[in-house]
Chains A and B, each alone.
Chain A
Amino acid sequence: DAGVIQSPRHEVTEMGQEVTLRCKPISGHDYLFWYRQTMMRGLELLIYFNNNVPIDDSGMPEDRFSAKMPNASFSTLKIQPSEPRDSAVYFCASSSQGALSYNEQFFGPGTRLTVL
């Protein structure tokens, strides 16, 4: 398996523009997570899906952020309009649930977003 795939790897945009980040989870995984990582705040969980359904979006910072998972092999995180404080590395991760417990998360390479 190719692992979790994210695109683009780097994104530089200007304030006010729309940004769309993409993720393809590992085949067969039923959980998908979006994280944001900065030096100041560390790794923050933004939202996660189970079987394509959003379960917890309490980490989404504000209405400018939205995420979708139209099918088991694709998810997007959209920021509209973008602001300089959104600059961070955004990770997508996928996982599966075992019989009695949760399994580990596999992370994609991340998207480094810079908003000027």
Chain B
Amino acid sequence: QKEVEQNSGPLSVPEGAIASLNCTYSDRGSQSFFWYRQYSGKSPELIMSIYSNGDKEDGRFTAQLNKASQYVSLLIRDSQPSDSATYLCDITGNQFYFGTGTSLTVIP
């Protein structure tokens, strides 16, 4: 079993819809959870961080963390074509783990 499993996609949603991205992890010692966005040919950039159970909202983005079930998710509301990118989850604690990324395409 991989340390981090991320729905590989690709994921396509129409403009204005909700995009849902998910990661599960195996290390129960994980403490910090991040979502990065990576545009083609660019480096990953942080969009959300979450450290405790529950939801965290920032504009159109909501991160959800459930440590008991060992998953973290990212919801993008009112998806825009500019959201088209690869999204990577980063699970950090005893070690550092990145998911393989989910490619999202928002169709105008």
- Report B94 CB to chain A, min CB distance, Å: 10
Q: Which residues B62-85 have CB closer than 8 A to chain A?
A: none
- Report B18 CB to chain A, min CB distance, Å: 24
**In the complex, what residues of B have CB within 8 A of residue A71's CB?**
none
Once the chains bind, are A45 and B88 in contact (CB under 8 Å)?
no
- In-complex Cβ contact of A107 among B43, B96, B101 (8 A): B43
Docked CA distance A85–B93 (Å): 31
Docked CA distance A43–B51 (Å): 22
Does A57 interact with chain B (Cβ within 8 Å)? Answer: no
Docked CA distance A35–B34 (Å): 17
Docked CA distance A24–B72 (Å): 31
Interface size on A, residues (CB 8 A): 19
Residues 87-107 of chain B, each 1 if its beta carbon lies under 8 Å from chain A, else 0: 010101101101111000000
Does B7 interact with chain A (Cβ within 8 Å)? Answer: no
Docked CA distance A45–B99 (Å): 11
Does A42 interact with chain B (Cβ within 8 Å)? Answer: yes
Which of A's residues lie within 8 Å of B, judged by CB?
33, 35, 42-43, 45, 48, 56, 91, 100-110
19 A–B contact pairs at CB < 8 A?
A: A33-B96, A42-B99, A42-B101, A43-B44, A43-B88, A45-B96, A56-B95, A91-B43, A91-B44, A100-B51, A101-B31, A101-B32, A101-B92, A102-B32, A102-B92, A103-B49, A105-B90, A108-B43, A109-B42
6 further contact pairs, Cβ within 8 A, besides A104-B90, A109-B43: A35-B98, A42-B99, A43-B100, A91-B43, A101-B92, A110-B43
